[in-house]
Chain A
Amino acid sequence: MRRNEWKNFGEAMLYMLPALIILGIFLFYPMIMTVIYSLSETSPRGEVLSFVGLENYWQWMQSSQFIQSMKSTFIFTLLTVPTTVVLALYLAVLGNEKLKGIAFFRVLFSSTMGVSVAAGAAIWLFLFHPSLGVFNEFLRFFGAEGIPWLTSSTYAIYSVAITTVWMNVGICFIILLGGLQNISDELYDSSKIDGAGYFQRLFKITIPMLSPTLFFVSTITLINSFQSFGQIHILTGGGPNQSTNVIVYSIYREAFEFARFGTASSQAVILFFIILLATFLQFKFGERRVHYQ
């Protein structure tokens, strides 16, 4: 019996070892190192020179950059998450109609999932172009003036947010559509007999039954939004005046432009806690509104 237990343990370890090694080297170890770096002064090759306590944290928090970066991240999240979820929900409800040729529209609605960050950002960079871009062309056609979409510190964050919503809406649509298809038709049939109208069915049946999926989708969109990097790197480079310097971009700049691994790591630790908190809050407050079948 005992020998059997050891045998099972050994065999299980063999199966799990490759995954454990990869996750160990590239996830658990760097997690610990991030915390150590955040408390140290380092060389550009990553050697720990001296232990400085919470110095890196204080320095960053007292800088004007901190407020700006937190503000940008907060506004950016607020602009992208609700918009993406509501838009994807609208598309999913529309795409769930039983019509001829609906499969074609579903493919179109999910297409942005196949668009990479770099390609998507390149396209939007062209659309936002001050003289050649279609948006300003459109505005000028109606006699309005062009907008400096990416070069004004007021508009840039909106432009990056629009791009991000567009990029994330595809996957949210697919997941929400899957959720809608799981709702049994019987529920709708019985409500039709009761004489419920379209919107009554939408708010009394569809959305409550869909709430676990909606909840899941909001969580991944929130996390996605915090992790935005590529579109910012290509569209604005964090500017103008750091108005789009959201947290992951800020980590990138500190570490790989200024070789300040310590400050970058302290921001990485804060990113980790923000995501942990966001996930926790969503579970705590989101869960209550969720209706499980």
Chain B
Amino acid sequence: MKRKIFLYVLLVISAFLLTFPLLFALLASFLNSGELHRGVYIPESFNFNSYVQAFASIPLFRFLINSLIVSVSVTIGQLVLCSLAAFAIVFIPFKGRNFFFFLFISTLLVPWESTVVPNYVTILNAGWLNTYQALTLPFLATAFGIFLLRQHFMTIPKELYESAEIDGCSRFRFYRSFALPLSKPVLVALGVYGFLTTWNMYLWPLLVTSDTTVRTIQIGINMMISQEASTNWSMVMAAVVIILIPTLLLLFIGIKHIQRGLTSGALKG
């Protein structure tokens, strides 16, 4: 019993220390500027003025839609392209499959930031600055996704594949009706992971968007900080709370899948 109480105390303290920044952001978004400058942290009344102001000050809604379009496209692209490549490596016996597997895996070692200059030049010369394709195309295939799905496809019994082949099931049908449905948990994990990382991307959207048409919400936050941080912190925090809601919700829903998917990929080797 004593041990239980001790553990709960530890849990509560740790949880508070870890999440107090989020708590403060939420509280500050309800403060008016008078309260903020007096050093009050608990709002006297919950007013949503800052939220209204946030939507009025920058095209926040537009940025949210842009982020959604970019993240959904990248997520779908990654799932399709990575699963196709992983499928070929596992199920088609062709010369050079090891070579291609290692070619894909070797890209895990390349920090994306070290290729950012030529990628920027490519987009610049294609005339694609401020377009959705600039924000999505470079991320449609990842070595991580191919690796994770390959690990999972390997666990599908070879006998299943062979008997399907004997029954006259084409490779593509096997991919669509067996390999994909059997990998649902990993696909969900990869999907949630891909969505979160794209939604949270910062450096690349900063480089390839210079106006508000396709700019994502992360760069919108930076825009708001440089415009308003000196004067209106409640509004900046309101914007932060708005952009945190979708990813936190997704994380809470998908956490079990991410955990299972990521750890199985990392540990089975």
The judgment on whether A and B are partners is yes
Interface residues on B, range: 35 or more
> What CA separation (Å) do A219 and B233 show in the bound complex?
37
B173 interface residue (CB < 8 Å to A): no
- Interface locus among B42-50, B77-85, B159-167, B180-188: B77-85
A193 interface residue (CB < 8 Å to B): no
B69 interface residue (CB < 8 Å to A): no
| Known contacts A34-B118, A109-B14, A132-B36; A116 and B199 CB within 8 A of each other | yes
> What CA separation (Å) do A256 and B138 show in the bound complex?
19
B53 interface residue (CB < 8 Å to A): no
Mark A6-31 against chain B: 1 for CB-CB distance below 8 A, else 0.
Answer: 00110111011011101101111111
Question: B111–A111 contact, CB under 8 A?
Answer: no
B140 interface residue (CB < 8 Å to A): yes
Residues of A within 8 A of B113 (CB): 227, 229, 248, 251, 268, 271
Question: A234–B225 contact, CB under 8 A?
Answer: yes
Question: A114–B225 contact, CB under 8 A?
Answer: no
Question: B21–A123 contact, CB under 8 A?
Answer: yes
A117 interface residue (CB < 8 Å to B): yes
Most buried by A among B21, B96, B112: B21
Task: List the count of A-B residue pairs having beta carbons below 8 Å apart.
Answer: 274
Residues of B within 8 A of A223 (CB): 111
Question: B115–A34 contact, CB under 8 A?
Answer: yes
Question: B116–A178 contact, CB under 8 A?
Answer: no
Give the secondary structure class of A's interface: helix
Question: B203–A134 contact, CB under 8 A?
Answer: no
B97 interface residue (CB < 8 Å to A): yes
- Other than the given A15-B84, A45-B124, A265-B117, 6 more pairs (CB < 8 A) read A18-B81, A26-B139, A99-B4, A111-B248, A178-B263, A179-B267
Please report B residues at the A interface, Cβ cutoff 8 Å: 4, 7-8, 10-11, 14-15, 18-19, 21-22, 24-25, 28, 36-37, 39, 41, 80-82, 84-85, 87-89, 92-97, 100, 104, 107, 109-122, 124-125, 137-141, 143, 146, 171, 196, 199-200, 202-203, 206-207, 217-219, 221-222, 225, 229, 233, 236-237, 239-240, 243-244, 247-248, 250-252, 255, 258-260, 262-263, 266-267
Please report A residues at the B interface, Cβ cutoff 8 Å: 5, 8-9, 11-13, 15-16, 18-20, 22-23, 25-31, 33-34, 37, 45-46, 90-91, 94-95, 97, 99, 102, 105-120, 122-127, 129, 132, 134, 137, 166, 169, 174-175, 177-179, 182, 212-213, 216, 223, 226-227, 229-230, 233-234, 248, 251-252, 255-256, 261, 264-265, 268-269, 271-272, 275-276, 279
Q: List 10 A-B contacts (CB under 8 A).
A: A26-B119, A27-B110, A99-B8, A114-B244, A114-B247, A114-B251, A126-B233, A126-B237, A230-B218, A268-B116
7 nearest CB pairs, A to B: A178-B263, A46-B121, A114-B251, A15-B88, A30-B118, A33-B118, A116-B200
